[in-house]
A and B are shown apart, each in its own frame.
Chain A
């Protein structure tokens, strides 16, 4: 009985932590390297326990992120919707991929996310970004294996307790 409750707690904590990490101010140019924390945490749950995180929740998370970072209301929501939807479609396969292959998939997914955000930006009349814009997905991808192993071990421990 306590098993799912522990897991739900781990879920809630990880989401809260991801929101916090996205809100932590990063000095100057380092901001360009800021990983898309919410997407990474969301991807973990979509792959490992999809019952926790559906499209509705992704939408709410996105709106929250929009308010936190002062972007157009709905921008992060749309981006997260696509990430969660696509990952959900490949969930069964992703789950049994080795970690490096997962990371590769996530890299492509985040590049696609950059394209979406680029089209939103160009539609709302912003200037086009420079090369640094494409670095963030790379950072996120490099973080993925460690994040995955960490969350996985915490989640397992939560289940055993």
Chain B
């Protein structure tokens, strides 16, 4: 028994060092993959391929939410539906009125633009998509939407809900794509203050309800100010609501003011979103 266990312990030892070697090799492969993924697009096709294989799991994972919605729907009373319907009807009427006003303004705007010989204002068109997954890693705020390159989605398209800009498409797989939300720590969007016209950039903070707008001159901003996209840089279309200033902070070093703003879009609650076609795309 004794000698047997001793001879046993030998191969066991080599087995253990074998797994160590395996660990080191696999860890290096993983690190290599991460660097390749971080540095460039080399792995985009690989990711797309695996993603297509995993599509059933992604769909299946939506079942709980779907069931929840169905149950909620079943529980909603007729009376509540009627009240909802009425409210929506009056809202639609109101919207229609505002829209006709807007149409007039747009016509006027177009006239002025032709006078100025400027480029035509871009027409908003897009595809309706559904958010299928929300990843709120504190380092990366991303959502997965159910349209991919098969539906003509390309990286760089802007994601909006009915309240404002949500983010921008980053990775595109055949059947789904990933978007970076405005609140992602790596996200930045050029903005303009509607009231004062001051321009700046809003940065994501990793907190869903908070964007940071730096380098604002004192007095150019007060809490409650609406920030819209300025369109500078050409990555985001101009004029969409982005956030509302909630608080101000003084930057001791630079003497500028830092504004903290709450995104107008429901970053963590919107399920249906619009993927805007960028102006260059619609020209093609």
Interface residues of A (CB under 8 A from B): 16, 19-20, 23-29, 31-32, 54-56, 59, 62-64, 67-75, 77-78, 81-82, 85, 88-89, 120-121, 124-127, 129-130, 132-133
Size class of the B contact interface (CB-based, 8 Å): 35 or more
Q: Is B57 in contact with A23, judged by CB distance below 8 angstroms?
A: yes
Q: Is A32 in contact with B38, judged by CB distance below 8 angstroms?
A: no
Q: Is B205 in contact with A127, judged by CB distance below 8 angstroms?
A: yes
Q: Is A20 in contact with B57, judged by CB distance below 8 angstroms?
A: yes
Binding stretch for chain A, among B98-106, B137-145, B213-221 = B137-145
> What 12 additional pairs, Cβ within 8 angstroms, besides A68-B58, A69-B133, A70-B133?
A20-B60, A31-B136, A55-B23, A68-B54, A69-B137, A70-B140, A73-B36, A73-B47, A77-B33, A81-B26, A85-B23, A126-B206
- Can you sample 8 A-B contacts with CB below 8 Å? A55-B26, A64-B50, A70-B133, A70-B144, A73-B46, A85-B19, A126-B140, A126-B185
Q: Is B34 in contact with A74, judged by CB distance below 8 angstroms?
A: yes
Q: Is B201 an interface residue (CB 8 A)?
A: no
User: Interface residues of A: mostly helix, strand, loop or mixed?
Assistant: helix
Q: Which B residues touch A67, using CB under 8 A?
A: 47, 50-51, 54
Q: Is B133 in contact with A74, judged by CB distance below 8 angstroms?
A: no
Q: Is A126 in contact with B46, judged by CB distance below 8 angstroms?
A: no
Binding stretch for chain A, among B3-11, B61-69, B159-167, B241-249 = B61-69
| Interface core residue of A23, A77, A130 (most chain B CB under 10 Å) | A23
Q: Which B residues touch A75, using CB under 8 A?
A: 30, 34
Q: Is B138 in contact with A27, judged by CB distance below 8 angstroms?
A: no
Q: Which B residues touch A133, using CB under 8 A?
A: 138
Q: Which residue of B lies closest to A28 (CB)?
A: B268
Q: Is B32 an interface residue (CB 8 A)?
A: yes
Q: Is A71 in contact with B140, judged by CB distance below 8 angstroms?
A: yes
Q: Which A residues touch B268, using CB under 8 A?
A: 27-29
Chain B residues 119-156 with CB under 8 Å of chain A are 131-140, 142, 144
Q: How far in angstroms is the closest Cβ of chain A from B46?
A: 7
